[in-house]
């Protein structure tokens, strides 16, 4: 699996870039692990996704990351999730263990960089009016009804409270909330990141 490294206010985060469908399946398995805390075969994940929208979306989103022979079909299937208000374009840089809770009303700009073991909840927007969107570190918890605007940086280990509007950088290992969001605590909440996937930094 190829890795791309991004700078996050002095911290380096590595994002996996699949080079084949085997790599895509590894990413799908990492997302499933975040959901369930269990390892499973791709077949079991596929069968389980029939009744679980978030995993079904994850499968097609991850398969879209490789422009192989399945790409036209998987991109077409991604359009079907617009009825849930899910707008995450193929090729968005997203790390291992992406965990979508309550799979509705989520919009992510294609230029966003999302680290490993990130939790995102319903009615959240990561948008931008410029050429760059947000960079989000590893092990970040983003509560529901959150807006993350333009090219802000959210450090690893941070917690963003529900209903926040993030317009300025949030330092690592802190809790932020409000409109506009500001740091309200240096306390971290690792217990909110259930079943963190054991990714490897490069």
Q: What is the mean pLDDT of residues 5-28?
A: 94
Cβ contacts of 19 within 8 Å, gap of 6 or more:
1, 2, 66
Residue ranges of domains in the chain: 2-192
pLDDT score of 91: 86
pLDDT classification of 202: cutoffs 50, 70, 90: low
Q: pLDDT tens-digit profile of 17-39? A: 999 999 999 999 999 999 999 99
pLDDT score of 201: 62
2-192: CATH homologous superfamily? Answer: Hexapeptide repeat proteins (2.160.10.10)
Q: pLDDT tens-digit profile of 170-190? A: 999 999 999 999 999 998 888
| pLDDT over 70 at 11, yes or no | yes
Q: Taking every pair of C-alpha atoms in the chain, what is the biggest distance, in angstroms?
A: 48
| pLDDT over 60 at 130, yes or no | yes
What is the spatial distance between Cα 191 and Cα 173, in angstroms, rounded to a whole number? 13
């Amino acid at each position: 699996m190829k890795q791309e490294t991004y700078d996050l206010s002095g911290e380096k985060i590595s994002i996996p870039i699949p080079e084949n469908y085997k790599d895509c399946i590894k990413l799908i398995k990492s997302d499933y692990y975040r959901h369930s805390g269990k390892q499973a075969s791709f077949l079991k994940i596929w069968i389980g996704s029939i009744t679980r929208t978030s995993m079904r979306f994850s499968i097609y989103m991850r398969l879209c990351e490789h422009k192989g022979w399945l790409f036209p079909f998987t991109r077409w299937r991604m359009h079907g999730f617009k009825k849930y208000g899910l707008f995450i374009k193929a090729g968005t840089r997203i790390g291992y263990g992406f965990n979508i809770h309550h799979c509705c009303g989520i919009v992510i700009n294609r230029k966003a960089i999302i680290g490993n073991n990130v939790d995102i909840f319903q009615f959240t927007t990561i948008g931008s009016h410029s050429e760059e969107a947000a960079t989000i570190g590893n092990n970040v918890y983003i509560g529901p009804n959150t807006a993350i605007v333009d090219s802000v940086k959210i450090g690893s280990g941070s917690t963003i409270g529900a209903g926040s509007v993030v317009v300025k950088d949030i330092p690592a290992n802190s809790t932020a909330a409000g409109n506009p969001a500001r740091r309200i605590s240096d306390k971290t909440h690792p217990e909110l990141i259930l079943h963190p996937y054991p990714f490897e930094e490069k």
